[in-house]
């Protein structure tokens, strides 16, 4: 299926690894020129090289912290008029809400609520003028089914989700959609480090813990960044212009509800 987005320009945030990387690869394969960012120069440059090798759209790499004003300015300077924006950043740490102070909350809200909101604010009017825009926020299955130890994530991402629910209905008449993709367990560095902590806590090996967690998912496995990226690319397609304000859960069926 031709997604009809070859030649478009995309900003993909936090994309040297994991889910952001999966999205950048799928978009580049469709012929989209992607501007990717992450903080660590070496892994970012390596990712850019590997995405270029796929032979699709052009790849520009901007090493920055996307949760800062300077980081967002650098990315927007490299790609001032994107047709596609994939919002992503590292997730907040797990813990007990009794231990979190104001600074912990501000950090989480900055990264997982305000950063996407400010990027949307910077690009949405240009998309409206050009009559094409696709914005995808990578959030979490925790938005639909909160995970108690991820209170910072549950709170900040719910704020973003509520904000987007309002504006997504205002932009769609201009062929500008705003949706979220909600990952369940995906085999990325973030998940692997969580599994490592759980294995140590339970006194079992990493492999045993990973197998246990994978088996507890109805699919019997973790998702892959490739699967995530392919859904993201479809949400960014020309064909997906009638879908907005949606929260698409991609979790192997882990959420047990009928709807
Ligand atoms: P990952 O594999 O650890 O990759 C994170 C990527 O983001 C890396 O490229 C990292 O590079 C970059 N990054 C992190 N903080 C950044 C920042 N402030 N500015 C720019 N780049 C930044 O993580 P992931 O699993 O793909 O997770 C992506 C998002 O999905 C996170 O918010 C996570 O909480 C959420 N999520 C993941 C899962 C899962 O199972 N994997 C499930 C639910 C939700 P640098 O470190 O070099 O900056």
Render pLDDT for 189-205 as a digit per residue (tens, 0 to 9).
999 998 998 899 999 99
Q: Kindly report, residue by residue over 142-190, the tens digit of the pLDDT.
A: 999 999 999 999 999 999 999 999 999 999 999 999 999 999 999 999 9
* Distance from residue 66's CA to the centre of ligand 1 (Å): 11
Rounded to whole angstroms, the Cα distance separating 43 from 47 reads 6
* Distance from residue 18's CA to the centre of ligand 1 (Å): 6
Phi first, then psi: what are they for 255, rounded to 5°? Answer: -70, 125
Pairing of strands 176-183, 9-12: unpaired
* Distance from residue 109's CA to the centre of ligand 1 (Å): 15
Q: In what side-by-side order are the strands of the sheet with 176-183?
A: 59-63, 33-38, 9-12, 84-87, 133-138, 176-183, 247-250
pLDDT (0 to 100) of residue 156: 98
Secondary structure (3-state) at 68: coil
Of all protein residues, whose CA lies closest to atom 33 belonging to ligand 1?
A: 91
CB of 114 closer than 8 Å to CB of 39: no
Q: Kindly report, residue by residue over 98-157, the tens digit of the pLDDT.
A: 999 999 999 999 999 999 999 999 999 999 999 999 999 999 999 999 999 999 999 999
Of all protein residues, whose CA lies closest to atom 15 belonging to ligand 1?
A: 90
Rounded to whole angstroms, the Cα distance separating 28 from 23 reads 8
Cα of 249 vs its chain's centroid, Å = 12
Q: Kindly report, residue by residue over 5-33, the tens digit of the pLDDT.
A: 999 999 999 999 999 999 999 999 999 99
- Here the tokens at position 247 are 């929260």
Q: Atom of ligand 1 at shortest distance to CA of 185?
A: 40
pLDDT (0 to 100) of residue 204: 97
pLDDT (0 to 100) of residue 158: 97
Q: Kindly report, residue by residue over 74-92, the tens digit of the pLDDT.
A: 999 999 999 999 999 999 9
CB of 69 closer than 8 Å to CB of 122: no
- Here the tokens at position 144 are 């639909």
CB of 253 closer than 8 Å to CB of 217: yes
pLDDT (0 to 100) of residue 220: 98
Q: Kindly report, residue by residue over 40-60, the tens digit of the pLDDT.
A: 999 999 999 999 999 999 999
* Distance from residue 162's CA to the centre of ligand 1 (Å): 22
Rounded to whole angstroms, the Cα distance separating 19 from 29 reads 15
pLDDT (0 to 100) of residue 251: 98
Question: How far does the chain reach from its first CA to its final CA, in angstroms?
Answer: 28
pLDDT (0 to 100) of residue 102: 98
* Distance from residue 156's CA to the centre of ligand 1 (Å): 15
Q: Atom of ligand 1 at shortest distance to CA of 16?
A: 9
Rounded to whole angstroms, the Cα distance separating 17 from 103 reads 27
Rounded to whole angstroms, the Cα distance separating 36 from 61 reads 5
* Distance from residue 17's CA to the centre of ligand 1 (Å): 7
- Ligand 1 environment, Cβ below 6 A: 14-20, 37-40, 43, 65-67, 88-91, 138, 140-141, 183, 185-186, 188-191
Of all protein residues, whose CA lies closest to atom 37 belonging to ligand 1?
A: 183
- Rg of the chain on CA atoms, in Å: 18
Of the chain, the percentage scoring pLDDT greater than 90 comes to: 97
Rounded to whole angstroms, the Cα distance separating 93 from 139 reads 14
Q: Atom of ligand 1 at shortest distance to CA of 111?
A: 18
Q: Which ranges constitute the DSSP H helices of the chain?
A: 18-29, 41-52, 69-78, 102-109, 115-130, 151-171, 189-202, 206-215, 225-235
Q: Atom of ligand 1 at shortest distance to CA of 68?
A: 18
pLDDT (0 to 100) of residue 108: 98
pLDDT (0 to 100) of residue 62: 98
- Here the tokens at position 131 are 């009559």
* Distance from residue 195's CA to the centre of ligand 1 (Å): 15
Rounded mean pLDDT, 250-255: 98
């Amino acid at each position: 299926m031709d997604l009809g987005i070859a030649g478009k320009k995309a900003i993909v945030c936090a994309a040297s690894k994991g889910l952001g990387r999966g999205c950048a690869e799928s978009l580049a394969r469709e012929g989209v020129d992607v501007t990717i960012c992450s903080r660590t120069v070496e892994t970012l440059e390596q990712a850019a090289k590997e995405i270029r090798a796929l032979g699709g759209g052009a790849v520009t790499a901007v090493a920055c912290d996307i949760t800062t004003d300077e980081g967002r300015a650098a990315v927007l300077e490299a790609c001032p008029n994107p047709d596609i924006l994939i919002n992503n950043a590292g997730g907040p740490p797990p813990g007990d809400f009794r231990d979190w102070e104001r600074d912990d909350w501000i950090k989480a809200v900055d990264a997982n609520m305000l950063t996407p909101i400010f990027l949307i604010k910077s690009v949405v009017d240009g998309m409206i003028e050009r009559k094409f825009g696709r914005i995808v926020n990578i959030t979490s299955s925790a938005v639909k089914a909160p995970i108690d130890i991820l209170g910072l994530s549950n709170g900040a991402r719910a704020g973003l989700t509520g904000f987007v629910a309002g504006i997504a209905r205002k932009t769609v008449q201009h062929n500008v959609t705003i949706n979220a993709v909600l990952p369940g367990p995906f085999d990325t560095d973030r998940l692997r480090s969580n599994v490592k902590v759980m294995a140590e806590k339970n006194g079992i090996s990493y492999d045993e813990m990973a197998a246990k967690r994978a088996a507890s998912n109805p699919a019997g496995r973790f998702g892959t960044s490739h699967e995530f990226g392919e859904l993201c690319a479809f949400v960014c397609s020309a064909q997906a212009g009638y879908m907005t304000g949606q929260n698409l859960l991609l979790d192997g069926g882990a959420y047990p509800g009928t709807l």
